[in-house]
A and B are shown apart, each in its own frame.
Chain A
Amino acid sequence: MKREIPLLITFIAGFLIVVALFIPHPPFNKIEETFNSWYIIVAGFTFILGIDSLILHNWEKIRRRSEGWPFALTVILSFFITLIWGIVSGVRTGHIFSTNSTFRNYFYLYIYVPLQATMFAILSFFIASAAYRAFRARTLNATLLLLTASIVMLGRVPLGNVALIPVISIAVLMLLWVLVDELKYVTSPTQRLIYIGIAVVAVVAAFPITKFLYHNLSPVTDWIMNVPQMAAKRGLFIGLALGGIAVSLRIILGIEQSYMS
């Protein structure tokens, strides 16, 4: 009873939604519409469980006076202040996002937006530091990642082709530096010759490549986005879809039951 009924509910809900995709006629389309509406309501209530966890976790920190407890208090206070402000403003004006809602005009514009935007903005600095680690072009894969990211970034901004000249110059200098550094540890004459060959090719090819990209940066970026990038994304999406369908089928058929624990 404690397991069978939930499994039956899962099966009926999932099965009817899938059936409605293949038979979009009454009564299945009506059932799908009703179920979707119910789903939004019930899923909304799961949020209360999450809120409970957030409040209890922080309350426990305050109760035990553990390190940083004033910040736990700040979390709880800001939660309730925002909630009460939103409810009062929403009830008064009909909706939290009404043009005359103080919640929208003050909390949202001057507290929430600055906090969220700045939080994501500082990630640009950490991404730069991560990029330094990821982009040390030691392997073919890392070099490809570096090249694509650089071309896409420069190709999508004004005057990107002008900035390309110093970028390629620095890239070639870095490559030469890495090659010279590696050369110290290479003993085989053939390998030395290969390293020197790569360095000569990089220096010789740098000028025509820069010239070509300077005049064709935008079409090259479009080609990267529309052909190799698109091919990989398609492969990833097809894999994702097949995986998602397989997992969903396992849930509907009751093979996957981890959500019952």
Chain B
Amino acid sequence: MHLSTSIWVWIAAFFTLAIFSFLYKDNPFYRFAESVFVGSSAAFAFLNLWFFDVKPKLWDPIAKGNILYVIIPLILSILMLTRFIPKIKWLSRWAIAFTVGMGAGLGITGMIQGYLVPQLKGTFLPLWVPGNLATTVNNWLLVFGTIFTITYFYFSKPIKGKFGVAAKIGIIFIMVAFGASFGYTIMARVSLLIGRVYFLLHTWLGMV
């Protein structure tokens, strides 16, 4: 055993153990660590936003004297802050409207380019592959699995009869997908857990 002599490693170990202590029950150590996490995460997100987005795109052009280039986003950003002044609060709607409009526009283009077209393209598969039964079966499963899954989410018609059978097959595919996602989520969390335990045993206590 070789205990770490770094104060920062001890701080990290304290926070790690404080959060793990919640597994026993809620306690002041956990709540302290949780509060530090909430406060510092908010500040960290703000700093990230400033140093990665706002500074290079707004502050740096202003500092270089190119204020005209960013005058419109600057005005919109200031309008966003009018929410703090009740009398002219309604002006913040202009800035919010711009972000909502952009979000909607990017939502459409993102959905078309990122999801709809690639997924539809991937589903157009040959249902008969000569000399390759396995691929043929897999293609059938892929094409009809996709159709049946969509059927399950079609709520404009009562789910019964032949339509109901298709929706029931769809739910089988959905359960397999959820099971796989669940398995991956558990694995991701367990790998984090292993990382923290390794930090305690190796970096802090020097046992392994």
Residues of A that sit less than 8 Å from B by CB: 2, 5-7, 9-18, 20-21, 35-52, 54, 68, 71-72, 74-83, 86-87, 90, 95-97, 103, 106-125, 127-128, 131, 140-141, 144-153, 156-157, 223-242, 244-245, 247-249, 251-252, 259-260
Contacts and interface: CB of A to CB of B under 8 A. Distances in A.
Nearest to B76: A42
A2 B145 CA distance: 49
For A12, A14, A20, A140, the residue with the greatest tally of chain B CB atoms inside 10 Å of its CB is: A14
Given A42-B76, A90-B51, A238-B146, A15 B174 contact: no
Contact of B179 (A7, A97, A148): A148
B174 A232 contact: yes
Contact of A118 (B20, B144, B149, B184): B20
Given A45-B80, A123-B189, 19 more contacts: A6-B96, A10-B97, A38-B76, A41-B58, A48-B81, A77-B39, A109-B12, A118-B192, A148-B175, A149-B186, A152-B180, A223-B138, A232-B170, A234-B146, A238-B115, A244-B110, A248-B103, A248-B104, A249-B108
A103 to B, nearest CB: 8
A245 B112 contact: yes
A245 B175 contact: no
B67 interface: no
Given A74-B39, A235-B147, A49 B73 contact: no
Given A79-B43, A116-B41, A111 B36 contact: yes
Contacts, number: 379
**Contact-size category for B:** 35 or more
Dominant secondary structure at the B interface = helix
Contacts of A248: 103-105, 107-108, 111
A47 B183 contact: no
A241 B116 contact: yes
